[in-house]
Structure 1
Amino acid sequence: MSGVDVNLVLRSTRVVTPEGTRPAAVAVAGGTIDAVLPYDADVPAGARLEDFGDDVLLPGLVDTHVHVNDPGRTEWEGFWTATRAAAAGGITTLLDMPLNSLPPTTTVDHLRTKQQVAAPKAHIDTGFWGGAIPSNVKDLRPLYEAGVFGFKCFLSPSGVEEFPELDQEQLARSMAEIAGFGGLLIVHAEDPHHLADAPQRPGPAYADFLASRPRDAENTAIEGLIAHAKRLNARVHVLHLKCCPPIREAANQDILWAGLADGTIDCIVSDHSPCTTDLKTPDFASAWGGISSLQLGLPAIWTEARRRGHSLDDVARWMSAAPAELAGLTRKGAIEAGRDADFAVLAPEATFTVDPAELFHRNQVTAYAGKTLHGVVRSSWLRGVRIASDGVLAEPTGRLLERDR
């Protein structure tokens, strides 16, 4: 060990480390993982031991795609409710998307407004993406220097008028500016012309919804994005493989899982995009297109992953290590010495049936209502402090994160 005073040891027969799952004891000092030790290692004098038996000790999940909507649309969600739901679900770090709040995170002043709102309410560590819109190329570098983790843009309408999409010329200008300081651009890639030409039949039929968001809209937008990125030597990440654009047919879902298995798809994050209950209409054309899943993401993914033969090592890579790497969160995403002591404790064989009344989201609307899922989150830990335990939440201790300089 490092010689720093260890004050906590977490022990489990199943600890998910970068080298695989094994029995281990994790020594924590000052909120940091000091060492990953053999399971039967002596507990240092003065340290508290927490033994989880056969429950799995995972690295705390990192969700880099969350719409908290605070301030401005707090009737949809807020930092207090969103981060409580995240903590209850094993998520210890989130990055907030720049749109759906008022103001959007498109200037440094707007970022500071959002940080002031978030600071006293965050139950988990919280960072922020900036937004790239047609009018703010001049604001991109100042936002990056102020600590945002990168920039989100849309190539088709975002759904809120204060966050307009970029056309191809505007995309090139924003991408060139961001490439100039080595930033990351994350992109909702659907071509607006293909969307405009697609049939728009309102109603509850999923086939009609699929027809309204054709494959060509994705393919054309991504091809153009790759061409710009090559020409400008820019860092670009394509996001959104569900809702809009839709997950499509069962065969396409199988291909998405294959993409996760072979590394084509980097990570799984929630795109937690909540709304009030009145916006969840039975019409695909008018319903708000988002699924509230912060609290349920880990068991939802584990339920399907285990059915398909994947392991919790895979889940930890998709939902913790890879998102942390994407955003440059070097202290997050793994159980290894030097990282923050952020953990989720999961009973992977246990099951539960989703009751919306037990969710901490502001609006208890869920696509998983009545579903039986595998994987019960027993507790969550942030820098060595238990912040959630069997649905009981501690007072907020989350910190506001800025990009590592």
Structure 2
Amino acid sequence: MTYDLVIRTRRAVLPDGERPAAVAVAGGRIAEVAARDAPLPAASETDLGDTALLPGLVDTHVHVNEPGRTEWEGFATATRAAAAGGVTTLIDMPLNSLPPTVSAAALAAKRAAAAGKLHVDIGFWGGAIPGNVPSLRPLHDGGVFGFKCFASDSGVPEFPPLSPGEMRDAFREIAAFGGLVIVHAEDPSALTVPADGGYPAFLASRPPAAERRAVEQVIRLAEETGVRAHILHLSAADCLEPLAKAQSDGLPITAETCPHYLVLSDVEAREPAYKCCPPIRDPANRDALWQGLASGVISCVVSDHSPSTPDLKQGDFATAWGGISSLQLGLPAVWTAARARGHDLATVVRWMAEAPAALAAVPGKGRIAAGNDADLVAFDPDAPFTVDPARLRHRHPVTPYEGRTLTGTVRTTWLRGVPVDGTPSGRMLTRKEAS
């Protein structure tokens, strides 16, 4: 047969490691992975030379904010930024859109708002809030990939946290239909009001104990209810011990962390662009998170892209919005730090593509393998660049990475074998039908 596209490279990052290969594409899927010089007739052929070929990244932690707060971000801008950063699949959080995705009607509104605007594929998380247990199964049947809840204040009034009893009820319901619950784990009893507007006071107001107590609560409830649970944006390395024990005991509990916790530290946090919840901590804590990744206790690295309008990121750390925009920069930020610590590109791909796809059970994504969607990224792992906010594709170019030199540049992103070129061609995914 004649394939639609063949991409040849000396550095294909495959499930079994990195090696020279030729990837043949037909009908939007990977039809064959062959030797680099294999004769593969094709309508179009690209030879990347020493540029690496990666599977499209899967980012399971993105706040698009549309509808309702589209001025903060939006499907068009978020998915353009994703493609520019090598992300071909993202899963949208149930907040901070209005309405939040806590009912079947709200999910329908979300899908209507996304129609015709997507530059990459997108799925949706549902939300678990007080009083919506009856809505969880309809959301599951509607195709959400799981359910997010908060143990502490979310920052927006329409998405309140669950009390321990409400969390137990939600976990039981989600376990009953085999769903996944993802948790913002900070214990409100350990959180305080910052003493002033500086970063040290903000950091002290959200101590590691807040995360650990909440993680331990989730572990107890997962053991009691049997639900599959995932800890979001792990910031405090103190949580690694109880998570490791729970995993060794066979509990179905996983954890993620984010580029900003692996790359940045409290030493440099001098402006509200660095504010996020839970907070960026000290270098020793950062080193321990890397150890947690290396050991497998933390399985995923995802963005927690949480943008807002620039005015909300001004002022001081006590009042500014807590969120970091990094959808476009996650791959080079993590790769820059990972290679300095001796990790190879295949490991970074596992953290940022294969493991998130497995977490959310998104079939056909996250691996260069025959039968999968031909979501691919040409990535030059040796090309440095300086972060210029003017070149960022998300709606508001506010970033703590401004002026930082990173290594690794995305050259081309293909979605189902077609280069992402500014024409919306992304699809809306559901848990039942994800490719």
* TM-score for the superposition, normalised by structure 1: 0.95
Matched, 1:33 2:30: yes
More displaced 10-residue stretch of structure 1: 286-295 or 239-248:
239-248
What is the one-letter code of the residue matched to 2:417? G
More displaced 10-residue stretch of structure 1: 16-25 or 218-227:
218-227
Structure 1 equivalent of residue 77 of structure 2: 81
Structure 1: distance between partners of 2:57 and 2:49:
21
Structure 1: distance between partners of 2:309 and 2:422:
26
What is the one-letter code of the residue matched to 1:84? R
Structure 2: distance between partners of 1:156 and 1:340:
38
Structure 1 equivalent of residue 429 of structure 2: 401
**What do residues 199-231 of structure 1 show as CA deviations (whole Å, max 9, x unaligned)?**
521212x32122100121111111111111101
| Runs of 5+ consecutive residues of structure 1 not aligned to the other structure | 388-392
2:196 pairs, out of 186, 202, 206, with: 202
Matched, 1:374 2:407: yes
Structure 2 equivalent of residue 277 of structure 1: 310
Structure 2: distance between partners of 1:356 and 1:395:
23
Structure 2: distance between partners of 1:254 and 1:105:
36
1:173 pairs, out of 164, 169, 173, with: 169
Q: 2:331 aligns to what SS in structure 1?
A: helix
**What do residues 87-129 of structure 1 show as CA deviations (whole Å, max 9, x unaligned)?**
0110000000001000100000100111011121010000000
Structure 1 equivalent of residue 21 of structure 2: 24
Matched, 1:237 2:230: yes
Structure 2: distance between partners of 1:72 and 1:190:
26
What is the one-letter code of the residue matched to 1:226? I
Structure 1: distance between partners of 2:358 and 2:193:
39
Matched, 1:217 2:210: yes
What is the one-letter code of the residue matched to 2:200? A
1:75-154 residue pairs with structure 2 within 5 A? 75-154=71-150
**What do residues 310-351 of structure 1 show as CA deviations (whole Å, max 9, x unaligned)?**
111011000000000000012100001111000111111111
Structure 2: distance between partners of 1:257 and 1:238:
16
Using the TM superposition, give the Cα deviation of residue 281 of structure 1 relative to its aligned residue in structure 2, in angstroms: 2.2
CA contact (8 A) 1:267 1:319 kept: yes
Structure 1: distance between partners of 2:86 and 2:209:
37
Structure 2: distance between partners of 1:202 and 1:85:
34
Structure 1 equivalent of residue 63 of structure 2: 67
Structure 1: distance between partners of 2:145 and 2:170:
15
Structure 2: distance between partners of 1:92 and 1:37:
23
CA contact (8 A) 1:199 1:211 kept: no
More displaced 10-residue stretch of structure 1: 65-74 or 283-292:
283-292
Structure 2: distance between partners of 1:47 and 1:272:
37
Structure 2: distance between partners of 1:199 and 1:280:
18
Q: 1:220 aligns to what SS in structure 2?
A: helix
What is the one-letter code of the residue matched to 1:94? L
What is the one-letter code of the residue matched to 1:246? P
Aligned length: 393
Matched, 1:53 2:86: no
Matched, 1:350 2:383: yes
Structure 1: distance between partners of 2:9 and 2:364:
22
Q: 2:300 aligns to what SS in structure 1?
A: coil
**What do residues 260-282 of structure 1 show as CA deviations (whole Å, max 9, x unaligned)?**
11101010000000011111124
What is the one-letter code of the residue matched to 2:170? S
What is the one-letter code of the residue matched to 1:99? L
Structure 2: distance between partners of 1:353 and 1:129:
33
What is the one-letter code of the residue matched to 1:71? P
Matched, 1:360 2:398: no
CA contact (8 A) 1:65 1:272 kept: yes
2:416 pairs, out of 377, 383, 393, with: 383
Structure 2: distance between partners of 1:193 and 1:336:
47
Q: 2:301 aligns to what SS in structure 1?
A: coil
Structure 2 equivalent of residue 390 of structure 1: none
Identity over aligned pairs, percent: 61
Structure 2: distance between partners of 1:69 and 1:399:
18
Structure 2: distance between partners of 1:199 and 1:292:
24
CA contact (8 A) 1:86 1:92 kept: yes
Structure 2: distance between partners of 1:347 and 1:165:
42
* TM-score for the superposition, normalised by structure 2: 0.89
1:292 pairs, out of 318, 325, 341, with: 325
The CA RMSD measured in Å over matched residues stands at 1.1
Q: 1:152 aligns to what SS in structure 2?
A: strand
CA contact (8 A) 1:241 1:247 kept: no
Structure 2: distance between partners of 1:272 and 1:241:
14
Q: Which runs of 4+ in 1 moved over 4 A?
A: none
Q: 2:302 aligns to what SS in structure 1?
A: coil
Matched, 1:337 2:370: yes
Q: 1:316 aligns to what SS in structure 2?
A: helix
**What do residues 124-145 of structure 1 show as CA deviations (whole Å, max 9, x unaligned)?**
0000000000021000000000
Structure 2: distance between partners of 1:286 and 1:315:
34
Structure 1: distance between partners of 2:132 and 2:193:
33
Q: 1:134 aligns to what SS in structure 2?
A: coil
Structure 2: distance between partners of 1:125 and 1:199:
39
More displaced 10-residue stretch of structure 1: 219-228 or 242-251:
242-251
